[in-house]
Structure 1
Amino acid sequence: MPVTTTPLTEPGDELEQALLSARALVDAAITNHRRQVSSPPIVELPADDEAVAATVRRLVALTRRELLCVPSPARYPERDSALALAELGRLPLRGITVRMLCAPTTTSTEAGAAFVASAVAVGIDARVSESPLPELLMADDRVALVRPDPGPATVTYAPSILHTLRALFTGTWQAARPPLDAPAGDRLTREILDCLNAGHKDDAAARKLGLSVRTYRRHVAEILRDMGAESRFQAGVRAAQLRLLAAQPNAPSTWSTAPLT
């Protein structure tokens, strides 16, 4: 009896193939609705940023439970991006979850990195994905704004499309990384964050890490700058939101509020 063997594949290859299949399903679902339904629950928006901005505001206002977001801040004037972020920032204050997936190109620029840091600062859970995704805003799995590049922006209420968008977002989210988690990993940054969280004085932390006090303080200053934080306490809040701290169950944070000297 002949023996068949199944070729081995890397887990990353399987994930990439699944994401590609999910994107194809989104395209197919939109095409099928346009062909088969006389009045499809899909609306194509006018080709101007104001129409998109107005739709974003409406979707944010409609959200009651969770908002999924794939931003494209480089596409819009800085003022519009700031206004959109201000709208999103109100949701966590109301107990609404906001998850944001960003492309590496978003965080590679100074303006993009500041956008993501500001999002994290207002309570938005952000991650960076290596897989390209269209611009997306989905409110409570009920309605979504999708804007591929290139292509027109559309608003959809179709359950099949919303289900596929949710699956695509979830699969990409699971493979994504925190914004400040470089692919190679920055062990020293995490060790410094842990020392700050544990409340170690600068001299004790420097000794523990084998650094001079001056070098340790320089690294702390760089971490605060990269996080867009104005104090060690603010950096600690953002580090916790980004899951950059070592797991310490039931241990309260003891971030020092001492100024850098």
Structure 2
Amino acid sequence: MFESLGLSKTAELVYRAMLSQPALGVAELTAHTGLSAEEIRQALDSLAEMALVRSSWQAPGLLRPTSPQVGLAVLIAQAEAKIAQRQQEIEAARAAIRVLAETHSSHLRRDELIRWEELDGIRVRLEELATSACTECLSFSPGAAHKPDAMAASKPLNQLALERGVSIRAVYQDSFRNDPQTLAYARWFSELGAQTRTVPTVPFQMVIVDREIALLPSDPGDPQTGAIEVHSPGVVAALCVMFEHVWATATPFGTAAQTDVHGLEPQERELLRLLGDGHTDESAARKLGLSVRTIQRMMADLTSRLGAESRFQAGANAIRQGWL
């Protein structure tokens, strides 16, 4: 039980025996514990070094146990001092890493814009940002599901950030609730202390760290083209405002989406808006992260509820009835 304080199991066994019967000598301790005489002597030497036994005042040459409230409290204080010193060393190392990282990347930040073209480079940069985050991490995650390898890679980094006290807020698409793996990941994420919400459509992929650095796709329509890292205070501030606006209208994870006065769920209202803007079933499906068949089923249901016989009439009825 006390191995973390430097007390071996053998020494602890002898110490407990002496506390129960302080007058036991080596021979009696041998019989009482089942240990050999040599093991008893080694344990007594260890206990003496840790000030858990001391010479008797009344019977010189005999050892008596020190009170646990005194002896073990001293060991705990010593262990706490070592932990505090180790923590100071870690904080000093962390500060040195920040200085080294700033020196290493200072030449990249002159224009306050860094382009990342390779997926490996983007992954490494995300790891660096997750490790260096001090206060807050905000993110947009479009699409219906996360790739398993991406989720596996981000898990330990997110967990370490949350354990350091970093606040994490993530916005996903409503459609992610249809993917069991992504749903399980979001549930695990929330249980660790992260806050997760969903909206029908997420503008684009985005990560903001400490409201100082933002990572965005070079082309929101094709994330494979690379990413842009932004350090401009004005641009990052504007992105934070946009995030807060989306966050305020999003549905918290674990709660059902709220319907409006017309009985429309956010996803249904967004589908009507997309089709009203001229999107096809296919492009609306991509925007919402749903299958084309699901879009067609939703639209058929909306058309029926609007009392329409065609999509055109459904759109006109939606405007006339105040659904849009």
**TM-score (normalizing by structure 2):** 0.42
- Contact 1:156–1:162, Cα closer than 8 Å, also in 2: yes
Corresponding position of 1:46:
117
Corresponding position of 1:150:
222
- Contact 2:211–2:237, Cα closer than 8 Å, also in 1: yes
Say yes or no: does 1:69 pair with 2:139. yes
Pairwise CA distance, 1:184: 4.7
- Contact 1:107–1:116, Cα closer than 8 Å, also in 2: no
- Contact 2:168–2:194, Cα closer than 8 Å, also in 1: yes
Q: What secondary structure is seen at the aligned counterpart in 2 of 1:56? A: helix
Corresponding position of 2:208:
138
Matched to 2:193, the amino acid is: G
Give runs of aligned pairs for residues 208-227 of structure 1, distance below 5 A. none
Pairwise CA distance, 1:165: 0.7
Q: What secondary structure is seen at the aligned counterpart in 2 of 1:123? A: coil
Matched to 2:222, the amino acid is: P
Pairwise CA distance, 1:107: 2.3
Pairwise CA distance, 1:117: 0.9
Corresponding position of 2:181:
111
Pairwise CA distance, 1:120: 0.7
Say yes or no: does 1:91 pair with 2:165. no
Change (3 A) 1:153 1:76: farther
Say yes or no: does 1:170 pair with 2:244. yes
Change (3 A) 1:132 1:182: same
Aligned residue pairs total 146
- Contact 1:146–1:155, Cα closer than 8 Å, also in 2: yes
Change (3 A) 1:82 1:71: farther
The 2-side partners of 1:81 and 1:133 are apart by 21
Corresponding position of 1:183:
257
Corresponding position of 1:122:
192
The 1-side partners of 2:213 and 2:153 are apart by 21
- Contact 1:107–1:179, Cα closer than 8 Å, also in 2: no
Corresponding position of 1:248:
none
The 1-side partners of 2:161 and 2:216 are apart by 20
Q: What secondary structure is seen at the aligned counterpart in 2 of 1:128? A: strand
Q: What secondary structure is seen at the aligned counterpart in 2 of 1:138? A: strand
Pairwise CA distance, 1:123: 1.3
**TM-score (normalizing by structure 1):** 0.51
Pairwise CA distance, 1:130: 2.5
Pairwise CA distance, 1:180: 2.3
Q: Provide the identity percentage.
A: 16
Corresponding position of 1:255:
none
Corresponding position of 2:6:
none
Compare the two structures and name the one with the higher helix fraction: 2
User: Which runs of 5 or more structure 2 residues have no equivalent in the other structure?
Assistant: 1-109, 260-324
The 1-side partners of 2:144 and 2:124 are apart by 18
Q: What secondary structure is seen at the aligned counterpart in 2 of 1:183? A: coil
Corresponding position of 1:21:
none
Pick aligned residue for 1:160 from 234, 254, 258: 234
Pairwise CA distance, 1:150: 1.8
Q: What secondary structure is seen at the aligned counterpart in 2 of 1:172? A: helix
Corresponding position of 2:28:
none
The 1-side partners of 2:161 and 2:244 are apart by 20
- Contact 2:171–2:202, Cα closer than 8 Å, also in 1: no
Change (3 A) 1:183 1:75: closer
Corresponding position of 1:60:
130
Say yes or no: does 1:82 pair with 2:156. no
Q: Which has the larger radius of gyration?
A: 2
The 1-side partners of 2:212 and 2:116 are apart by 18
